[in-house]
Structure 1
Amino acid sequence: MDRDLPGAVVVSTEIVNGTREDTVGPLAVGILEQSRVHTKTPQHVAEDPLELRAALRDAIASGARIIVTVGGTGVGPGDITPEVSAEFISVRMDGLTQQIRDVGLAKTPLSSLSRGIVGITERGVYGVLIVNSPGSRGGVKDALGVICPLLPHIFEQLDDQDHS
């Protein structure tokens, strides 16, 4: 892809506080790199709406084409990723959201607990794809396994190129 991803945004207070090691952020970056999305190291934010909002705003302002959030999609008190992401999304891509969930459900019933969303910030060349991935390694693999093969087509559509 033409622009660098400012990094996957890992939403975990435990990782920020150093009580848990980040194994999902590097995995997300590695999968994106395999799909030729040039990335930087994962950014870590606490399960705090203000921190996540600032991280998303900065990533969008930097010119990213895709932002992958990892974690914060469940039903716990700190699981605020879908709500904060929705503030930036103008076009929901519910088919992709469902496809990610379906891939996960084929492996574990826990996938149904993810409330992650997928969408774009705006139609056109300045549109940014936001993908909420669950915080597990399996969830990251499932989400990016669905999204990555579609990235060229999504970006062609955003760029209004011939996508027949």
Structure 2
Amino acid sequence: MAKKKQRRGGAAAGAGGTPATVALTEAGTAFTVHSYAHDPAAASYGAEAAAAMGVEPARVFKTLLAEVDGALTVAVVPVSGSLDLKALAAAAGGKRAAMADPAAAERATGYVRGGISPLGQRRRLPTVLDASAAEHATICVSAGRRGLEVELAPADLAGLTGAVLAPIARR
């Protein structure tokens, strides 16, 4: 069972916080932290998170990095689906997209694979959030490490990351 901690803007996320939770706190954004024991043998980080938190997979979003015409781009899609690279390229205003090298993704974001958050990255990258996020009052994304998720309103996530909403997930 996942542990929950409610955090609101102004609450101290500092000690033990991740860059994602610090960014949310500094922005004054309401969010809930969900932590769970990560199983290194889990086949899918996102499916593991959804099951551990008891949240429907359509509300848990994974953060993927792709190269769109050679530029790193963040794609945030439900764990219940997969990324449509052609749709991502179109949404980002490019022609071609391919998954980014995992080492390049880790260097650019400052996070490890399986714990990459769309929030609090080392440098701000173009971000596309799947349009299905708008169907939910709140969604969950990585808080910056395996076994830690944040739940927040999709509009807050889009605002903090400068994300474009577009249908980029395959169901």
The bucket for the TM-score relative to the shorter chain is 0.3 to 0.5
Alignment TM-score, normalising by the size of structure 1? 0.33
| More helix by percentage | 1
